[in-house]
Structure 1
């Protein structure tokens, strides 16, 4: 027995609960890449040290993150503290075009952000400082500053109190690193700025190493 299209549609309505005005979606013949959900459009990529990273503020909760970016973009995990001390609840926010980041929470309830780290290249301060900023530009924006040597947990951390932006101390952490294989290409220069001592940005050994800003961490609730 052949069934009419109207009969089939009526049967689907009864079985699946569709309204009379619903459209029955047929399997898509488009390539899968064209129907994957797109990441939300994020235009606010401003870092305000100690205050916010785009829409993420001192009071943003895990639940609010899901509303802002979509639950499918979030991945919860635990991370170790500096030098392997302690364990912290964290949430990855996976966006595109250099906008991804990681929130570290003050506790397991994930209701108060401690800091935001692993920021993509789209995130910048008002001064234009962000991951990937080259050494020459950093020196122009920060002046002659001091920083920790390479090769340990606080490797390349800039001491902001010695820069043109001392007001950012305790609100943001900036770390620099060498270009890939710079240590192999310029071993003498690399060894000269290695270790947990402090060095001046004017030290001649930095120049051949291709230094650039490699990490930005924004502290929101330091307590």
Structure 2
């Protein structure tokens, strides 16, 4: 299998599709603790700066820093498995109680920090981001393919229906400077494979396709996953 995505560490690629559909990424149970205004203030900057930060979470943030930022009651430690059984990783889920939020910033609060080791003192990456998190270019979960093409130009991406399906090759885009700092993965609208089987099959498999390929259009392609790499694994 050809996994020659330039500049992205194998461990990061191995994590790519283990998002919320995987039991290891299941959100913690709803927590009924109130959120203070002080905690909300730390969420008022839902900006993604690839390679540098996701809101207040930076390359040097530790688990103890997360407790100060969000409160211990809103954090859940877990261990996640990489795709194809490639390793396991310590992680911390941030899951604030959106029902008690006083501002729209809380819609940006869901995320998962993946650590370099069990000490939880060095973040490898941040993933499972809610739709309110955006890059400076306005790219976030839910951004449709048409908007992605405006911001990235005519880029290439992997075909659907395999472990790295829908992954955008940033080195083929206008945002090539994010290569190794950001992973973007698209997916189809629900039931697109059943509604448009010929189009779906035409852009599936371990191959690269142009974002201008006409078979993408009926599938309702949108950005489904953002992974912000803070400290690339060696």
TM-score bracket relative to the smaller structure: 0.7 to 0.9
| 1:132 alignment counterpart | 142
Compute the TM-score of the two structures, normalised by the length of structure 2: 0.79
How many residue pairs get aligned? The number is 189
Cα shift at 1:219: 0.3
- Counterpart CA distance in 1 for 2:217 and 2:108 is 27
- Counterpart CA distance in 1 for 2:162 and 2:169 is 15
> Does structure 1 residue 181 correspond to structure 2 residue 181?
no
| 1:86 alignment counterpart | 87
| 1:46 alignment counterpart | 47
Q: How does 1:164-179 map to 2 (within 5 A)?
A: 164-179=174-189
1:121-165 Cα deviation digits (max 9, x unpaired): 010000000100011100100000000001112110000000011
- Counterpart CA distance in 1 for 2:216 and 2:85 is 28
| 1:101 alignment counterpart | 111
SS at match of 2:48: strand
SS at match of 2:209: strand
Cα shift at 1:99: 2.1
- Counterpart CA distance in 2 for 1:127 and 1:94 is 26
Which of 201, 209, 215 is matched with 2:219 structurally?
209
Larger radius of gyration: 1
| 1:62 alignment counterpart | 63
Compute the TM-score of the two structures, normalised by the length of structure 1: 0.83
Is the 2:33–2:73 contact (alpha carbons within 8 Å) kept by the matching residues of 1? no
Cα shift at 1:36: 4.4
| 1:18 alignment counterpart | none
Is the 1:99–1:121 contact (alpha carbons within 8 Å) kept by the matching residues of 2? no
Which of 218, 227, 231 is matched with 1:221 structurally?
231
SS at match of 2:162: coil
Higher relative contact order (CA 8 A, sep 6+): 2
- Counterpart CA distance in 2 for 1:214 and 1:117 is 11
RMSD: 1.1
| 2:104 alignment counterpart | none
> Does structure 1 residue 75 correspond to structure 2 residue 76?
yes
Cα shift at 1:83: 2.0
1:7-37 Cα deviation digits (max 9, x unpaired): xxxxxxxxxxxxxxxxxxxxxxxxxxxx841
1:168-200 Cα deviation digits (max 9, x unpaired): 000000000000000000000000011111000
Is the 2:94–2:110 contact (alpha carbons within 8 Å) kept by the matching residues of 1? yes
- Counterpart CA distance in 1 for 2:108 and 2:161 is 26
SS at match of 1:116: strand
Is the 1:157–1:175 contact (alpha carbons within 8 Å) kept by the matching residues of 2? yes
